[in-house]
Chain A
């Protein structure tokens, strides 16, 4: 029983960075921008967050630094794709390639460094509950922040005027432009916000989850987060579901290894990647379903004058 509780707890922790990053990418995509630079943003913010937490001694400083780094990288990406109308695929790939080189380059001094002892966290009273306590209520605060962020994003997108405008920009930038909304400014704001969220996710990985900096430590989570937005058919609540699903796959893999299952570790480690492919296939099987849900201008450039 307690083993199951620990597995649930580990799943929530593993799903949290995916949920936060996926949410940020969802905001981008709802505004019509596909950011393939997610992996690079996560890597740069992971090293920035680790460095800040290492020197500043506070994980919250790490999250702030991660968010700032993610937002800064996203701003460069956003300026290129929104103002200079560069190809979104190519620019995003460039950010990912730059991010993996740059993070390895600046992070070389932090390899093998340790952060201070991690505090144990527990929600008062609820944390003492049998089973539910260790499973749900002894998590890092960021795990609950992720859930709150998903709720906030849902509210923003579907219950506020600004959210409606954001969705309008993603569905039909021409119409939004004709109505007098600054399409490019809104898109840039969405990209920077998404980058900041990816930054928090990256910092969570290096400061809380691992907690270490290793070159390439994001290990494809940026791409998995991109897949999550498709899985979620661009709805925030389903991002959370998908993130925990992937977190569960990751944890199950480690759990099976610990149980001594007779399968080489490399095949176990393939599981999250194979699961991503399988889920993509299942979700995308019906092209109509994707077309109905995908923001109509996703990936397409917008020229205000035209």
Chain B
């Protein structure tokens, strides 16, 4: 039988290999799944692993999906490292989308004369404020009332979703929209500037990459960043050093809420161009997986977002080409995270084959 022995030092090699092994396990599981469904596994898997990277247009679409995932995962990585379990990025994303969309709606209906580049900082600010305000509720309840942030942040996702639904079914509904639950199409001035005409990839992608670099500097090159992270693995040491866990709760939640909010604002002012109930597309939840696959590291999040975006795009292709439900990408995401967590055991342990005897039985 196989026994796990604790390694004297964590294996650096395994911490790099583990996500790759997990990815291989996920792909293998996917192949078996497609075979069982009677689909050609090679053809379907290539929709997930090859086609999203094939050609310039596909790559720009990939970058478009990466943008919200990177932004959400950056903040979540900071939270999780500080032992603050914010799992409501989806709700903060939605509130950012509502704030950014509301601003765009106001610019549209009031016909404010603005250039897209003047609007860009405004929409970023609005999104960040919306997301951070939503996360501030979690921080306040955790800090003042000791309420579990996992449950509060998650409950607020449902509340945000219903709030968006009320807005687009009610006061913000397009009066000439044939009663569809959506706002009017936003004016051209509110569109996030694009890199190239005809491609949907916008400057929010560059914003996300810059944010990743800044987050890396903050986490590993500033005193405050180190302070926050020590609270996670060693709360007693952090207290002894005089680092406040209360301020860690506030900082991490406001930063991650703000980033998720910006992601939401980019999504509505970028590819969507209006508010609809479909703004809630699960980026905030997928970002949890991105954060873990990226080892809670800002630059890891960028790499992991590419993989998860490919899964999302692959799911859409599999739906339109071979009639698989789009939720297949959710299955992939879940398997990937479970496999990764299992493989991470190999960082701290090594496998050893031992003869099974009663003594070694657990």
A102 touches B146 (CB 8 A): no
Complex Cα gap A219–B161 (Å)? 12
In the complex, A223 has a CB within 8 A of chain B: yes
Binds B, one of A133-141, A146-154, A254-262, A275-283: A275-283
A285 touches B146 (CB 8 A): yes
Q: Within the complex, what minimum Cβ distance (angstroms) separates B177 from chain A?
A: 18
Complex Cα gap A19–B288 (Å)? 29
A234-251, CB under 8 A of B: which get 1 and which 0?
Answer: 000000000000000000
A181-199, CB under 8 A of B: which get 1 and which 0?
Answer: 0101100000000000000
Measured between beta carbons, the chain B residues less than 8 angstroms from A95 are: 334, 338
Interface residues of B in 113-169 (CB under 8 A from A): 141, 145-148, 150-152, 154-156, 158-159, 162-163, 165-166, 169
A273 touches B158 (CB 8 A): yes
Measured between beta carbons, the chain A residues less than 8 angstroms from B154 are: 220, 223
Q: A93-B288, A104-B325, A266-B166 are in contact. Are A84 and B342 (CB under 8 A)?
A: yes
B330 touches A270 (CB 8 A): no
Partner of A36, one of B150, B328, B342: B150
Measured between beta carbons, the chain A residues less than 8 angstroms from B148 are: 227, 230, 280, 284
In the complex, A87 has a CB within 8 A of chain B: yes
Partner of B146, one of A94, A99, A219, A284: A284
In the complex, B331 has a CB within 8 A of chain A: yes
Partner of A91, one of B147, B166, B341: B341
A104 touches B330 (CB 8 A): yes
Q: Which of B148, B165, B170 has the most chain A CB within a 10 Å cutoff?
A: B148
Complex Cα gap A83–B334 (Å)? 20
Measured between beta carbons, the chain A residues less than 8 angstroms from B292 are: 90
In the complex, B337 has a CB within 8 A of chain A: yes
In the complex, B327 has a CB within 8 A of chain A: yes
B330 touches A101 (CB 8 A): yes
A266 touches B162 (CB 8 A): yes
A264-306, CB under 8 A of B: which get 1 and which 0?
Answer: 1011011001101100110011110010000000000001110
Partner of B338, one of A80, A185, A227, A269: A80
Measured between beta carbons, the chain A residues less than 8 angstroms from B169 are: 264, 266
Measured between beta carbons, the chain B residues less than 8 angstroms from A91 are: 338, 341
Q: Within the complex, what minimum Cβ distance (angstroms) separates A45 from chain B?
A: 16
Complex Cα gap A108–B331 (Å)? 13
B141 touches A277 (CB 8 A): yes
In the complex, B362 has a CB within 8 A of chain A: yes
- Write the chain A residue with the least CB distance to B170: A264
In the complex, A5 has a CB within 8 A of chain B: no
In the complex, B285 has a CB within 8 A of chain A: yes
Number of A-B contacts (CB under 8 A): 143
In the complex, A144 has a CB within 8 A of chain B: no
Q: A87-B341, A281-B141 are in contact. Are A105 and B162 (CB under 8 A)?
A: no
A78-90, CB under 8 A of B: which get 1 and which 0?
Answer: 0010011111011
Measured between beta carbons, the chain B residues less than 8 angstroms from A284 are: 145-148
Complex Cα gap A281–B148 (Å)? 8
Complex Cα gap A230–B146 (Å)? 12
B285 touches A97 (CB 8 A): yes
- Write the chain B residue with the least CB distance to A305: B6
In the complex, B333 has a CB within 8 A of chain A: yes
Q: Which of A90, A102, A220, A226 has the most chain B CB within a 10 Å cutoff?
A: A90
In the complex, B4 has a CB within 8 A of chain A: yes
B330 touches A100 (CB 8 A): yes
Measured between beta carbons, the chain B residues less than 8 angstroms from A85 are: 345
- Write the chain B residue with the least CB distance to A269: B162
Interface residues of B in 166-185 (CB under 8 A from A): 166, 169-170
In the complex, B305 has a CB within 8 A of chain A: no
Interface residues of A in 44-103 (CB under 8 A from B): 76, 80, 83-87, 89-91, 93-95, 97-102
Q: A101-B327, A276-B155 are in contact. Are A270 and B150 (CB under 8 A)?
A: no
Partner of A226, one of B145, B151, B166, B288: B151
Measured between beta carbons, the chain B residues less than 8 angstroms from A99 are: 334
Complex Cα gap A40–B342 (Å)? 18
B145 touches A285 (CB 8 A): yes
Complex Cα gap A266–B173 (Å)? 15
Measured between beta carbons, the chain B residues less than 8 angstroms from A227 are: 148, 151, 155
Measured between beta carbons, the chain A residues less than 8 angstroms from B337 are: 90, 93-94, 97-98
Measured between beta carbons, the chain B residues less than 8 angstroms from A304 are: 362
Q: Which of A84, A99, A215, A230 has the most chain B CB within a 10 Å cutoff?
A: A84
Measured between beta carbons, the chain B residues less than 8 angstroms from A215 are: 327
- Write the chain A residue with the least CB distance to B169: A266
B155 touches A76 (CB 8 A): no
Q: Within the complex, what minimum Cβ distance (angstroms) separates A276 from chain B?
A: 5
Q: Within the complex, what minimum Cβ distance (angstroms) separates B284 from chain A?
A: 11
Q: A101-B327, A220-B154 are in contact. Are A277 and B345 (CB under 8 A)?
A: no
Interface residues of A in 24-53 (CB under 8 A from B): 36, 40
Measured between beta carbons, the chain A residues less than 8 angstroms from B141 are: 277, 280-281
Complex Cα gap A253–B289 (Å)? 34
Identify 4 new A-B residue pairs, CB closer than 8 A, beyond the known A84-B342, A267-B162, A287-B146: A101-B327, A105-B325, A105-B331, A284-B148
Closest 8 CB pairs of A and B: A101-B330, A98-B334, A104-B327, A266-B166, A94-B337, A84-B345, A86-B341, A266-B162
Return 23 A-B CB contacts under 8 Å, by A number: A80-B342, A89-B150, A90-B337, A95-B338, A97-B288, A97-B330, A98-B330, A98-B335, A101-B328, A102-B331, A105-B328, A105-B330, A184-B362, A223-B155, A227-B155, A267-B162, A270-B159, A270-B163, A274-B159, A277-B156, A284-B145, A284-B147, A286-B146
